[in-house]
A and B are shown apart, each in its own frame.
Chain A
Amino acid sequence: MKKLFLVLFLIIISSGFLVAQREITGKVNDEDQNPLSGVSVVVAGTNVGTLTDINGQFSLQIPPNATTLVFTFIGMKRVEMEIGNLTVFNVTMSFDVGLLDEVIVIGYGTIKKSDLTGSISSVKGDNIRLQAVGNVVQSLSGVAAGVQVLQTSGQPGSGTNVVIRGGNSLLGDNNPLYIVDGTPMITDLSMFNTNDIESIEVLKDASGTAIYGSRGANGVVLVTTKKGKSGGLSVEYSGYYGVQQVTKKIEMLNAKEFASLVNERYLNDGLSPYFSSSEIESFGEGFNWQDAVFKVAPIQNHSLRLSGGSDKTTYSISGSYFGQDGIIINSGYNNLQFRSRIDTKITKDWSFAVNTVLSRRMNNNIHSNNTERGMGVLSAAVGCPPTIPAYDANGDYSFMMAYPFSPEGLENPIAMAYERIMKNHSNDLSLNLSTSANIFKDLTLYSSIGIQYDNAREDYYSGTKLFASRTGMANIGYSELMNILNENTLTYKKVIGTNHDLTILGGVTAQKNTAQNLRAGSTGFLTDILQNYSLQSGENFQTPTSDYSDWTLLSYISRINYSFKSKYLFTASIRADGSSRFGSNNRWGYFPSFAVGWNINEENFLKGNPTLNILKLRMSWGQTGNTSITPYQSLSVLSSIQTVFDKNLNIGYAPGNIKPNPDLKWETTAQSNIGLDVELFNNRLSLSSDFYYKKTRDLLVNIPVFPSTGYASQTTNLGNIENKGLEMALNWRVFDQKFLWNLGSTFTLNRNKVLSLPQGGDIFGTEIGWVLPAMNLVREGYPVGVFYGYIEDGLTEDGNIKYLDLHPDGTINTLDRTIIGDPNPKFIFGINSDMSYKNFGLTVLINGVQGNDILNYNLSNIGDSFSYGINQTKDIIGNYWTSQNPNPNAKYPRISKNTRFLGSDRFVEDGSYVQVKNIKLSYSLSGDKFKASRIHNSQVYISLQNIITLTKYTFYTPIQNTLGTGINKGIDKWGYPDARLFMLGVMVNL
Chain B
Amino acid sequence: MNKNIIILLLVIIGSSCTDFLDEKPKDRLTEINFYETFADAQAAVNAIYGPIRNNYRDTYFLMLDLLADYLEGRGSTSPVSEYKGFDVTNINRAAAAWRYLYQTIRNANIAIERIPKIEGMKESDKNALIAEASFLRAFSYYFLVRLWGAVPLYLDLSPVDLSRRPVSEVYQAIINDLKTGETYLPDTPSEFGHPTKWSAKSLLAEVYLTINEFDLSKDKAGEVITSGHFNLVDVNVANDFNNVYGPEANGTPEEIFYIKFNHTAGWTMPHKYLWDRDQFSPFGSYVVYCVPGPFFTNWDDNDLRKKFNIFSQYINRFTGEIETLPSSTPILVSKYRDNNAPSNSNYGNDAPVLRFADVLLIYAEAAPLAENQISAQALECLNRVKRRAYGYPNRSASAVDYSADGLSVEEFRDIVIQERAYELFMEGGDRWFDLRRIGREKEIILANTGKTLVDKHILWPIPQAEIDNNPDINQSDQNPGY
Contact = CB atoms under 8 A, between A and B. Distances in A.
Interface of A: 274, 347, 349-350, 373, 401, 404, 407-409, 435, 437, 439, 445, 447, 467-471, 473, 486, 488, 508, 510, 522-524, 538-543, 546-549, 551-552, 554, 578-581, 584, 587, 631-632, 634-655, 703-712, 761-762, 764, 767, 770-773, 811, 813-815, 868-869, 897-898, 900-903
B13 A638 contact: no
A649 B264 contact: yes
Contacts of B105: 710
Nearest to A438: B2
A350 to B, nearest CB: 6
B475 A632 contact: no
Most buried by B among A470, A538, A579, A813: A470
A652 B276 contact: no
A795 B88 CA distance: 19
Nearest to A587: B21
Contact of A653 (B43, B89, B154): B43
B404 to A, nearest CB: 40
B88 A644 contact: no
A643 B13 CA distance: 49
B99 A712 contact: yes
Nearest to A807: B475
B2 to A, nearest CB: 5
B50 A644 contact: no
A803 to B, nearest CB: 13
A707 B25 contact: no
A435 B1 CA distance: 12
Nearest to B475: A815
Contacts of B329: 404
A983 to B, nearest CB: 43
B84 to A, nearest CB: 7
Given A409-B75, A471-B282, A761-B468, A638 B29 contact: yes
Contacts of A640: 28
A470 B344 contact: yes
The winner among B23, B262, B467 for most chain A CB atoms within 10 A is B23
B30 A554 contact: no
Contacts of B92: 767, 770, 773
Interface stretch (B4-12, B205-213, B230-238, B302-310): B4-12
Given A447-B5, A488-B13, A813-B482, A548 B348 contact: no
Interface stretch (B120-128, B191-199, B292-300, B408-416): B191-199
A650 B44 CA distance: 11
B320 interface: no
Interface stretch (B167-175, B365-373, B427-435, B458-466): B458-466
A471 B98 CA distance: 33
B103 interface: yes
B469 interface: yes
B262 A644 contact: yes
A650 B46 contact: yes
B21 A580 contact: yes
Contacts of B28: 547, 632, 637-640
Given A471-B282, A710-B106, A771-B89, A652 B343 contact: no
A637 B50 contact: no
21 contacts: A408-B74, A445-B5, A523-B342, A542-B264, A543-B264, A580-B23, A632-B25, A638-B29, A644-B262, A645-B191, A649-B264, A652-B50, A653-B44, A704-B465, A706-B465, A707-B95, A707-B463, A709-B106, A710-B102, A770-B92, A773-B88
Interface in B99-125: 99, 102-103, 105-107, 110
B262 A470 contact: no
A281 to B, nearest CB: 22
Nearest to A270: B450
Contacts of B399: none
Interface string B444-480: 0000000000000000000111111110010100100
Given A524-B343, A653-B34, A646 B193 contact: yes
Nearest to A584: B22
A648 B191 contact: yes
A703 B465 CA distance: 11
Contact of A524 (B342, B464, B481, B482): B342
A539 B342 contact: yes
B155 to A, nearest CB: 13
A903 B91 CA distance: 13
B76 A770 contact: yes
Contacts of A538: 342
Contacts of B239: none
Contacts of B49: 641, 643, 652
Contacts of B98: 707-708
Q: For B49, B88, B193, which residue has the most chain A Cβ atoms within 10 angstroms? A: B88
Interface residues of B, number: 100
B20 A554 contact: yes
A891 B478 CA distance: 31
Interface in B276-318: 276, 282-283, 285-287
Given A435-B5, A546-B27, A636-B30, A654 B110 contact: yes
A951 to B, nearest CB: 28
Contacts of B391: none
B463 A523 contact: no
B393 interface: no
A439 B191 contact: no
Q: Which 9 A-B pairs have the closest CB atoms?
A: A710-B106, A652-B46, A652-B47, A540-B342, A654-B47, A404-B328, A641-B50, A524-B342, A645-B191
Given A541-B264, A811-B481, A447 B12 contact: yes
Contact of B87 (A401, A467, A551, A900): A900
Given A637-B30, A644-B260, A552 B20 contact: yes
A547 B26 CA distance: 8
B152 interface: yes
Contacts of B348: 647
Nearest to A636: B31
B88 A903 contact: yes
B193 A447 contact: no
Nearest to A346: B1
B267 to A, nearest CB: 9
Contacts of B152: 708
B99 A707 contact: yes
Contacts of A708: 98, 102, 151-152, 154, 162, 466, 470
Contacts of A652: 42-50
Contacts of B46: 641, 643, 650-653
Contact of A706 (B84, B251, B328, B470): B470
Contacts of A764: 468
Contacts of A704: 465, 468-469
A978 B174 CA distance: 57
Interface string B44-70: 111111100100000000000000000
B30 A471 contact: no
Contacts of A637: 25, 28-31
A876 to B, nearest CB: 20
Nearest to A811: B481
A508 B44 CA distance: 45
B183 interface: no
A805 B2 CA distance: 78
B50 A706 contact: no
A642 B102 contact: no
Contacts of A706: 162, 465-466, 468-470, 473
A715 to B, nearest CB: 14
Nearest to B3: A439
A641 B45 CA distance: 11
A554 B6 CA distance: 20
A489 to B, nearest CB: 10
Given A580-B22, A652-B46, A705-B469, A401 B343 contact: no
A350 B82 CA distance: 81
A92 B78 CA distance: 81
Nearest to A633: B23
Contacts of B478: 813
